[in-house]
Amino acid sequence: MGMTLSQKILAKHAGKSHIMANELIEAKLDLVLGNDVTTAMASTIFDEAGFTNVFDSNKIAIVLDHYAPCKDINSAELCVKSRLFAKRFSISNFFDVGDMGIEHALIPEKGLAAPGELIVGADSHTCTYGALGAFSTGIGSTDAAAAIAQGSLWFKVPPAIKVNFQGKLNNHVSGKDVMLHLIGLIGVDGALYKSLEFVGDGIKALNIADRFTIANMAIECGAKNGIFPIDDITKEYLHDVVEREYDILVADSDAEYEQEIVIDLSQLSPTVALPHLPSNTKKIDEVKGLSIDQVVIGSCTNGRIEDLRVAAAILKERKVAHDIRCIIIPATQKIYLQAIKEGLIEIFIKAGAAVSTPTCGPCIGGHMGVLAKGERAVATTNRNFVGRMGDVTSEIILTSPAVAAASAVIGELASPFDL
């Protein structure tokens, strides 16, 4: 029996010619990632375990993004601890305020993720880099401490689900709608500890931003990772950011999959996830008209330049509705600068939106948009759990940038087709 793309990457890094689902392996790592919250915890565990050196100061990345710029004393202390750890071990890929961005947009932008690589990060959305054909997955801070010290980790090889994309997306439908549809189809545990292997002719109709969004939310249905094969779209993106050699691995024709899910992209429409699970999905026309208080466009899921362009196209020469707060957060400084050059920031400000420096901010209820009791937000983020963005009685509706921008203009949950 052959191997899936994920299994081929794991086998290579374990120094094995063949591995099977559920096998335990030890594999060498190409990159270990931490943020201001998890690096602070990992550094404590690192010291308590008696480690005195990191495995490779060039293969560790630390991004201060969750509560940075710091919102209070506690978050400032986390950042200080992370800075000191980075300084102590001369971590070359250390990104602080002014140079940082939301980690899962910044890491690919900096060329730190490439096809065939094995990447772990002390953040669940590390699975984002599967868009580039890497095996990337989230780990806890304890595992991160061990990975930083040793450069390897134990893995149980995940079985796989084949997700076969066919057709192409219609107007106002994006990767966010695709992934919300899939999560609604299989549930938040439908791919528990499995690889989501995206295949099919429909992939060529998905731009790189769509792929990042889809891979980013693999964890929302329990997957260990989500991964795309390498094609010309991937190579074009990588051409400008990755200078080192990388391996293009391909799944075997006789690879084993536990299940195959076929999705006709042409049949999808704008889709949202109502509180309090990403799997509580509805087509926008079924639920539009719900009252809202705030709109957030950004996050590691939808803060890329392509997302901002979609929002700007809808907000141009329009106004954010009265009593609606619209907060827009470019995912990195480079994206922010590009948005300025393209005139997008001017469009947002003239529309009455607030534009923030890159930060995870409201996605985790950190700052820049925390919700009060009973408030409801439309957000392009990835989770809508109870209390995720503020008070436990607040609510989050997950949407694409197109739906979010349309909702900001109309003043209630709305479809871009309503404009």
Q: What is the pLDDT along the chain (419 residues), one digit of tens a residue?
A: 899 999 999 999 999 999 999 999 999 999 999 999 999 999 999 999 999 999 999 999 999 999 999 989 999 999 999 999 999 999 999 999 999 999 999 999 999 999 999 999 999 999 999 999 999 999 999 999 999 999 999 999 999 999 999 999 999 999 999 999 999 999 999 999 999 999 999 999 999 999 999 999 999 999 999 999 999 999 999 998 999 999 999 999 999 999 999 999 999 999 999 999 999 999 999 999 999 999 999 999 999 999 999 999 999 999 999 999 999 999 999 999 999 999 999 999 999 999 999 999 999 988 899 999 999 999 999 999 989 999 999 999 999 999 999 999 999 999 999 99
Structure confidence at residue 221 (pLDDT):
96
DSSP helix/strand/coil, 187: coil
Tokens of 64: 């201060």
The fold of 5-263 is: Aconitase; domain 3 (3.30.499)
What ranges make up the beta strands (E) of 167-258? 195-199, 225-227
For the chain, how long is the longest CA-to-CA vector? 62
Check if the beta carbon of residue 35 is closer than 8 Å to that of residue 63: yes
Q: How far is CA 217 from the centre of its chain?
A: 6
Q: What is the pLDDT of residue 41?
A: 95
Using alpha carbons, select from 358, 289, 375, 346 the residue that is nearest to residue 64: 358
pLDDT value for 1: 83
Q: Which of 48, 4, 65 is nearest to 356 (CA)?
A: 65
Tokens of 154: 């134990």
pLDDT at 366: 87
CA distance 274 to 278: 7
Count helices and strands (H / E) in the chain: 14, 18
Does domain 271-418 fall under CATH 3.30.499.10? My reply is yes
C-alpha to C-alpha distances, 312 to 109, 315, 318, 404, nearest whole angstrom: 22, 5, 10, 11
Q: Is 229 left (phi over 0), alpha (psi -120 to 50) or beta?
A: beta
CATH 3.30.499.10 positions along the chain are: 5-263, 271-418
Beta strands in 23-134 (DSSP E): 24-28, 31-35, 60-63, 93-95, 118-121
